[in-house]
Amino acid sequence: MRKVIRVLLILLLFFVAAFMAAAFYMLKKHQDSGVYLANTYYMGQNVEGRRPAEILDAILRDVDGVDVEITENNETAIAGKLAEFGFTLDKDAAEKSLTDAMDAQKENIATIFKCLTGEETQVTAAVVWQFDQETFDKKVNKAALPEKRVTSVDAEFITDMENRTFYIKPEVSGNDFDEAAFKNWAKEIIENSLADNGTKDISMKFPTEFYILPKVTQDDPELVSKLSAYSPYAGAEVTYVYGSVKEVLDFETILSWLDVSGSTATVNEEKLNAFLADIKARYNTRYRTRKFVTHSGKTITIPENLNEYGYRLNEDAEREQLLEDLTCGEPVEREPVWYKTNKWDNPVYYGREGTDDLAGNYIEVSIDEQHLWFYKDGKVFLDSDVVTGDITKNRGTVTGAYPMAYKLNDYTLRGGEGSGAYATKVKYWMPFIEGQGLHDATWRSKFGGSVYKGNGSHGCVNLPKKVAKKIFENVRAGIAIIIYD
């Protein structure tokens, strides 16, 4: 019995030794082979029994077939093989990596036994890519994209000088982009895809966030506030009329007057006052020293206190009217707001032509010459001898420039006191100041000369009836009567 057991033990040891020898032989055989072990997988492919060079050839074939595409707005923009994008496989490095991975597998006894027993083994070998920037830049650039690039434009506040209006010009959302950022993005996508997906095709969708968009849009609060501030002055233009002479307060000047704060624009008081002062300086004629050229061509001076005739700006009323005109939304044409009447509500001017407030229509009276000239439209319409106030009785006719207050038919002149009282009827009465006026004097048979010295009037300018009639019929209240010694 013991003999049997001994034999069995010897046989067992023999078989174990034989098995170990066979296993050692198989192990050594696989270690010495230049191929991957059974049941070995690389990048999802069974590479059992294949040499690294064979695997590399297969990888190269796959790499050559990799397509890269960049789309924009669902249309192919840039496309080509991987190599056209500057990416090529580093063959030497890749083969070394595959070889090192195979050697590492065979050095691990446990891994060998797993492979021999049918268990799958995954190996990892780095695929090294070479990148050529110049090739990449030729393929991937802004010019290579077929879409026309449009630069974004910010919304802006527009002042339309020609049409005297304001509006917000909307922004333009373009499709231009930062080329450097685009290139970095594409390169990174390709690199990540190669690292993650091996040799699969690569498709990239151009990201719209790369577009350089406007920084200011039409709903920008600052633009909206500015439009609100300026809009009331759209259409503003005021044409000032001085007879046939016109001066335009234009849109551009008006805008220069505006002080803007937030959504409110106000007219600058200093600039407005300066404008009104300029009107007064150039066009006010009443209560200012007047230079007058007589019928003989002589220039006389009428002091401001004797110059009751003419134009004087009603500054407060003009300011109010102008501020209203500026926001009425359309052009305005008018005269400045003058003081039209005196304290007796009688007109103080007749008409003007630019700075000339007589405009060729006035009545001139020379006391020394005892003569009157009536000018109409720049020409002498009539002239006549007259009788003025009696200077010997201290009743001389006032000198100066005065507007005709009004005219009346069939008027009774009254004056004096006691025995000196009088009541004289006249047909044509045309007063100018303090009870003095032009009128017919039918009781006189002689005019001119020195009659006024001793037989003059109470201060009025006496006229032959036909002369008084003709003047009466051809004037209206407000015409200037200029009297001088």
pLDDT in tens, 234-253: 999 999 999 999 999 999 99
> For residue 27, what pLDDT is reported?
47
pLDDT at 25 over 50: no
Beta bridge pairs of residue 80: 68
Digit-coded pLDDT (tens) for 133-191: 999 999 999 999 999 999 999 999 999 999 999 999 999 999 999 999 999 999 999 99
Higher pLDDT, 193 or 474: 474
Strand, helix or coil at 153? Answer: strand
Strand-pairing partners, residue 72, are: 75
- Write out the DSSP string of 440-475: E-TT-S--STTTHHHH-BSSSEEE-HHHHHHHHHH-
Q: Which helix (H) or strand (E) holds 411?
A: strand 408-415
User: Please, which residues have CB within 8 angstroms of residue 468's CB and are 6 or more apart in sequence?
Assistant: 426, 427, 428, 430, 438, 439, 440
Q: Which domains does the chain have, with CATH numbers?
A: 15-66+82-145 (no CATH), 227-334 (3.10.20.800), 362-484 (2.40.440.10)
DSSP reduced 3-state for 157: strand
Per-residue pLDDT at 275 exceeds 90: yes
pLDDT digits (tens, 9 = 90+) for 342-362: 999 999 999 999 999 999 999
E-assigned strands of 264-369? 264-267, 290-293, 299-302, 332-334, 362-366
Helix (H, G, I), strand (E, B) or coil at 307: strand
Residue with tokens 């004087």: 312
| Residue 213 in this model has a pLDDT that exceeds 60 | yes
State pLDDT tens for residues 361-392: 999 999 999 999 999 999 999 999 999 999 99
Query: Percent of the chain, pLDDT > 70?
Result: 91
Q: Token digits for 347? A: 């007109």
pLDDT digits (tens, 9 = 90+) for 288-340: 999 999 999 999 999 999 999 999 999 999 999 999 999 999 999 999 999 99
User: Which secondary structure element, helix H or strand E, spans residue 429, and what is its range?
Assistant: strand 422-433
For the question of whether the overall pTM of this predicted structure is more than 0.75, the answer is no
Q: How far apart are CA 23 and CA 15, in angstroms?
A: 12
Tell me if 451 sits within 8 A of 464, measured CB to CB: no
| Percent of all residues in the chain with a pLDDT value above 90, rounded to a whole number | 74
CB 407 within 8 A of CB 475: yes
- The residue ranking higher by pLDDT, 93 or 340, is 340
Residue 131 is predicted with a pLDDT of 94
Mean pLDDT across the chain: 90
What tens digit of pLDDT does each residue of 440-466 get? 999 999 999 999 999 999 999 999 999
> How would you class 188 by CB atoms within 10 Å of its CB: exposed for 0-12, middle for 13-18, buried for 19 or more?
exposed
Tokens 């527009």 belong to residue: 158
Q: Mind listing the pLDDT tens digit for each residue in 97-114?
A: 778 878 888 777 777 767
Q: How far, in Å, CA of 323 to CA of 164, rounded? A: 17
Checking if the pLDDT of 28 tops 80, the result is: no
Whether 389 and 459 have beta carbons less than 8 Å apart is answered as: yes
